[in-house]
């Protein structure tokens, strides 16, 4: 059909972009073009016969070719500061030339900085030294520049997005919990955990791409339930079939986190420089392999200072604007989201055997 919409999704090889492509394809109401940085990131997309193209957002020729014939853009691509800021500019320039009907930019709630209390879209954006958040603030500025020129831009600021295919808030956390060395962190993790299951974010994205009241606006996107980080750890742990989490002493955890931070940086530098000989040594030496495994487990099971700051943040990101203007209605509470998440982890072979039930909740 001549009036059938065609969506270009950038970052389609990633967690969110991949979900957007799959949902559009399975929904059947629009054509979808998946823009990827390299062909190696297309493995997940191979499950569906979608139009997949190279779209390095820093390569203006690739961007131009990917944009041809497109009516809607969902810009999910991530990377370093240049990718985030200049990539957004290249995409918006090409979208403007193409005359797209809607350009949805995926930002983050982290653009508000380390805040507390109820946070809506009127809260000023605040740079705080995080390359990820600060570059998103600048990229939003680029979006608003084009919006002033008439571009039909909508910005979404999702909170903590979890679910199948999520590396940070699903796979990584599941591994930490299954290591047996993760726990609840007492007062250090009693901050508000503003979760958004991927299904709710998709609903917000498609409303932003189609609703007439979305143009020129920014919207927070979060789930229907706000719990503490400790509660998230406990519920995820229970969903994995693990024994109850220990409660770790907050003071000792903060000291350990501070002490471990330089070791984490050193380990990353060593792996970048000597990764090949280190892996060869571990392959031939059982002692070296065991030492490396224990060091890796200790590093990964210790939250970083930045993570502890996040776990203690007392901020609640309000979605009133999205609800009232777009009809956004988040449906996935935490238990339902975790049920689907754990089923996916089991399907992917990412679950260890559940440990035997033992009394938990002790402080150490």
Length of the chain: 364
Contact 220, 185 (CB under 8 A): no
User: What is the distance between the alpha carbons of residues 86 and 41, in angstroms, rounded to a whole number?
Assistant: 21
Residues 288, 302: Cα–Cα separation, whole Å: 21
| Tens digits of residue pLDDT in 241-272 | 999 999 988 777 777 767 666 655 655 565 56
Stated as kind and residue range, the H or E segment containing 161 is: strand 160-162
Strand order in the sheet with 153-158: 51-54, 31-36, 6-10, 72-75, 102-106, 153-158, 218-221
Tokens for 227, please give them. Answer: 């719990």
Distance between CA atoms of residues 42 and 287, nearest Å = 38
The CATH number of domain 6-166+192-232+314-347 is 3.40.640.10: no
Sheet holding 160-162, edge to edge: 160-162, 192-197, 226-228
Which tens digit of pLDDT belongs to each residue from 74-93? 999 999 999 999 999 999 99
DSSP 180-232: T---B-GGGG-SEEEEEEHHHHHHHHHHHHH-GGGTT-EEEE--S-EEEHHHH
Question: Is the model more confident about 64 or about 299?
Answer: 64
More confident residue, 305 or 265: 305
Measured distance CA(44)–CA(22) in Å, rounded: 10
Over residues 139-167, mean pLDDT = 98
At residue 146, the 3 state secondary structure works out as helix
Task: Say whether pLDDT at 354 is over 70.
Answer: no
Domain ranges, ordered by start, for the chain = 6-166+192-232+314-347
Residue recorded with tokens 């809506």: 120
Give residue 43's pLDDT band: very low, low, confident or very high (50, 70, 90). Answer: confident
Span 174-191, average pLDDT: 94
Distances (CA, A) of 299 to 176, 210, 351: 10, 44, 20
Structure tokens at 340: 């689907």
Contact indicator for 97, 65 with CB cutoff of 8 Å: no
Question: Measured between alpha carbons, how far is 236 from 182 in angstroms, rounded to an integer?
Answer: 12
Mean pLDDT of 53-79: 98
Q: What is the mean pLDDT of residues 270-276?
A: 59
Average pLDDT, the chain: 89
Instruction: Judge whether 292 and 278 are in contact, CB under 8 Å.
Output: yes
- Please report, to the nearest 10 degrees, the dihedral formed by the alpha carbons of residues 118, 233, 77, 340 taken in order: -110
Report the C-alpha gap between 319 and 297 in whole angstroms.
37
How far apart (Å, rounded) are the C-alpha atoms in residues 146 and 329?
Answer: 29
How far apart CA 123 and CA 228 sit, in angstroms, is 22
| pTM score above 0.85 | yes
> What values do phi and psi take at 295, rounded to 5?
-65, -40
Residue 147 CB partners (closer than 8 Å, separation 6+): 153, 216
pLDDT at position 334 is 98
DSSP code of 363? B
């Amino acid at each position: 059909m001549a009036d059938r919409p065609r969506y270009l999704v950038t970052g389609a090889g990633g967690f969110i972009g991949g979900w957007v492509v799959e949902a559009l394809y399975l929904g059947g109401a629009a054509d979808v073009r998946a823009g990827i940085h390299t062909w190696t990131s297309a493995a997940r997309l191979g499950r569906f016969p979608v139009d997949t193209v190279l779209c390095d957002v820093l390569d203006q020729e690739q961007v131009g070719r990917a944009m041809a014939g497109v009516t809607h853009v969902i810009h999910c691509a991530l990377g370093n500061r240049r990718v985030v800021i200049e990539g957004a500019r290249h995409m918006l320039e090409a979208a403007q030339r193409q005359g797209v009907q809607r350009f949805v930019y995926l930002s983050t709630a982290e653009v508000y900085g380390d805040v507390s209390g109820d946070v809506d879209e009127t809260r000023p954006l605040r740079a705080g030294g995080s390359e990820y958040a600060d570059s998103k603030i600048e990229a939003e500025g680029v979006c608003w520049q084009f919006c002033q020129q008439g571009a039909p831009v909508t910005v979404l600021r999702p909170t903590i997005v979890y679910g199948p295919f999520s590396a940070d808030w699903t796979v990584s956390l599941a591994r930490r919990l299954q290591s047996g060395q993760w726990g609840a962190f007492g007062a250090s993790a009693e901050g508000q955990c503003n979760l958004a299951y991927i299904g709710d974010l998709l609903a917000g994205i498609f409303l932003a791409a189609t609703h007439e009241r979305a143009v020129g606006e920014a919207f927070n996107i979060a789930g229907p339930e706000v719990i503490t980080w400790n509660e998230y750890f406990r519920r995820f742990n229970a969903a994995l079939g693990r024994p109850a989490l220990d409660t770790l002493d907050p003071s000792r955890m903060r000291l350990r986190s501070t002490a471990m931070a330089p070791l984490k940086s050193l380990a990353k530098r060593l792996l970048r420089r000597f990764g090949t000989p280190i892996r060869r040594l571990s392959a031939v030496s059982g002692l070296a392999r065991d030492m490396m495994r224990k060091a890796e487990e200790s590093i990964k099971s210790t939250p970083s200072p930045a993570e502890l700051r996040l776990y203690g943040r007392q901020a609640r990101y309000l979605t009133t604007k999205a609800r009232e203007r777009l009809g956004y209605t988040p449906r996935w509470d935490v238990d339902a989201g975790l049920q689907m998440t754990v089923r996916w982890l089991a399907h992917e072979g990412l679950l260890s055997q559940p440990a035997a039930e033992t009394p938990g909740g002790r402080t150490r």
